[in-house]
Chains A and B, each alone.
Chain A
Amino acid sequence: MQDSFLLIGLINVLEPINIGAILLGTLIGMFIGAMPGLSATMAIALLLPLTFSFRPETGLAMLASLYLGAMYGGSIAAILLRTPGTPAAAATVIDGFPLAQQGKAGKALGFSLTASLIGGLLSAIVLLTVAPLLGALVLNFGPVQIFAIAVLGMTIIGSLSTGSAVLGLLAGALGLLLGTIGMDPTTGTPRFTMDNLSLFGGVPFTVALIGLFSVPQAIRLIVDGDRAQTMAEDEPGGMVKTVSKIKDRMLPTGRQFIEMLPNSLRSGVIGVIVGLIPGTGGDTASWFAYNEAKRFSREKEKFGTGHIPGIVAPEAANNAVVGGSLIPTIALGIPGSSATAVLLGGLMVHGILPGPTLMTDHGAVTYTLLWAVFFANIALFVVGILFTRACISVTKIPNRVVGPVIIVLSIIGAFAINNSVFDIWLMLGFGFLGFLLDSCKVPTPPLVIGLILGPVLDTSLQQSLLIGGGSWMVFFESKISAVLLIIAFLSILQATPLFRWIGLGLRRMRAAQ
């Protein structure tokens, strides 16, 4: 069955319309990623309404390519302007910008692109092999295990998110609570709808996503203006001149390619593993890979001065994260990051509900998506070689021009989902909520994941309690769910000071002895 889906996916993805969507997606993603301050997640959320009219596989292929394109696009601004286009490109600045200042911007971008290709292809191969295996395993799971997986996913995402773990978990819980808005799946009781018919079907996930990721960004772009760039010039160390032209050769030579291969593969593996862990993302992977590249290097002192391995490592890692984070998203229906949550939103827009049956009930579409990730990496390399020079002009667009354009796209996009004016206001409401949470340093990705997992938890909880005759012990009768729930409980505990207190107590006891 899986082999036939694998073949159907490959045939689907090779259709001219899907190849066109992949090329267009990588191109748009690259341009958006190159704009400082615009994230890959926001790019997918904003362009999601555009894919409505496409067939599901075409729309999803475009969104996945956009994600990959934005990951590489982020490095363009990082290398040329010392301002990472996406958070995942922050580590690229350290060696990318000094190399560009030495007049080797093309070399820096070429190595970044090649490393992205190696890391991306590696992760796509892992995705194509591991996701079906995991998907087959998960098929044996019932509502009890699905509930436990969802709880575990939620707690890990909350406790590993940036900033305070408690606030991350709190944001996740808020997302879950908002996810319960709408008709109760068992009794049909409308919950928290304030008698508004538009909310009976629940909070439209894509509308919430557009608001949460676009509106806060647009407000920040207007408020901060082009401060990010000017700050770089004001920093200690004197005047920093940004680079506005690529004059040298981009592609590495055969010998250089072989030399960069071990670092790229190691960083790619790091990216895949980090991507697999829910709640971590491209930024964690790229810093991790950068540090490992430095640790393994014989020329540690060269890092930070425009050293090629310092560009290769973070770029291979952040593109490899894409495939890694898609594994739990596709196999379990639990998104590993906010970007994959938006991709799941793309599936939902086309009436495909995420969950363990994704690889069987919607096998053709899902496997097309898996193959699309593979081909998007190749497309990114081609598009990158052809259009990186053109991307430089995008990096010069003032932030205060981009901000209002984002709002227009968000409002039109929110309306386009259900042709509903209510959705525009709901999107803005979520936008302001996202801005407030950002301002108070509360991470928003757990909230988004909570919104997705709310209905999953709701249905699986009610089914599990029915199976268990109303007893909560049903979750501990299955070994799998018991273990998963214990891990979830431990991940909540590690967010509290309890472990620290236990550690302190043990140290004091040892000292007293």
Chain B
Amino acid sequence: MSRILVAVAAIIIALLFRVEAAGYPRVAAQLPVLITNVMIGLALLAIVQQLLAWRQATDGATRYALTMPALPRVRDGAVFVGLMLLYAWAITSIGYLIATPAFLLSSMLVARSTKPWIIVLTAVVVTLAIWIIFVNFLRLPIPLFPGA
């Protein structure tokens, strides 16, 4: 089923790009239109292949099923993604030196990565190491504190 979803998503993306390209000069639209045609063709082929595979399959009703991962794995993944997005926002608003250890601590604690003292030590060492390399050595102008 995932193959069908991918193919449908590819067709939608191709159509969106095609509609957008319709307003461009002919030369500028040439390659994007060609690629979207190829994409739609390949996506339809993927759907046909999947339908043929289903027709030949012998495992009855389950053949259409989507394989869903176990709930705890989905939860762990979702929490981590949420923390990741929060970190991406926080690094530019509250600064690297607060956002980074906070992200490392929270994500490792939530995931129960290892012993708490190792988590704290890792958060401190990683934050300092990256700060030394990227800010001190490479002069990266990343905000370090809130309002910086």
Contact = CB atoms under 8 A, between A and B. Distances in A.
B31 A461 contact: yes
Contact of B39 (A170, A223, A225, A432): A170
Interface string B72-101: 010011001100110110011000100010
B107 to A, nearest CB: 4
A292 interface: no
Interface residues of B, number: 63
Most buried by B among A166, A184, A415: A166
B39 A428 contact: no
A222 B130 contact: no
Contacts of A403: 80, 107, 111
Most buried by B among A415, A461, A497: A415
B88 A53 contact: no
Interface in A424-482: 424-425, 428, 432, 437, 439-442, 457-458, 461-462, 465
Given A173-B39, A191-B24, A222-B77, A461 B30 contact: yes
Contacts of B43: 170
A269 to B, nearest CB: 35
Q: Is the interface of B mostly helix, strand, loop or mixed?
A: helix
Contacts of B140: 412, 415-416, 419
Contacts of A400: 108, 111-114
Interface in B98-132: 100, 103-104, 107-108, 111-114, 118-119, 122, 126-127, 130
B88 A166 contact: no
A437 B137 CA distance: 36
Interface string A208-240: 000000010011001111000000000000000
B35 A173 contact: yes
A187 interface: yes
Contact of A166 (B14, B21, B45, B103): B45
B144 interface: no
A407 B79 CA distance: 14
Nearest to B122: A401
Interface stretch (A34-42, A174-182, A293-301): A174-182
A170 B42 contact: yes
Interface of A: 49-50, 52-53, 164, 166-167, 169-170, 173-174, 176-177, 180, 184, 186-187, 189, 191-192, 215, 218-219, 222-225, 398, 400-401, 403-405, 407-409, 411-412, 415-416, 419, 421, 424-425, 428, 432, 437, 439-442, 457-458, 461-462, 465, 496-497
21 contacts: A164-B46, A170-B6, A170-B46, A176-B35, A177-B36, A184-B28, A191-B20, A222-B76, A222-B80, A223-B69, A401-B108, A403-B80, A404-B113, A408-B100, A408-B130, A409-B130, A415-B91, A415-B142, A419-B141, A428-B84, A497-B52
Given A166-B46, A167-B6, A408-B103, 18 more contacts: A49-B138, A50-B133, A170-B6, A170-B7, A173-B38, A177-B14, A189-B24, A191-B21, A219-B80, A222-B107, A404-B80, A404-B103, A407-B84, A416-B134, A416-B140, A424-B88, A428-B84, A497-B49
Interface of B: 2-3, 5-7, 10, 13-14, 17, 20-21, 24-25, 27-28, 30-32, 35-36, 38-39, 42-43, 45-46, 49, 52, 69, 73, 76-77, 80-81, 84-85, 87-88, 91-92, 96, 100, 103-104, 107-108, 111-114, 118-119, 122, 126-127, 130, 133-134, 137-138, 140-142
Closest 7 CB pairs of A and B: A400-B113, A184-B28, A404-B107, A189-B28, A440-B2, A400-B111, A170-B42
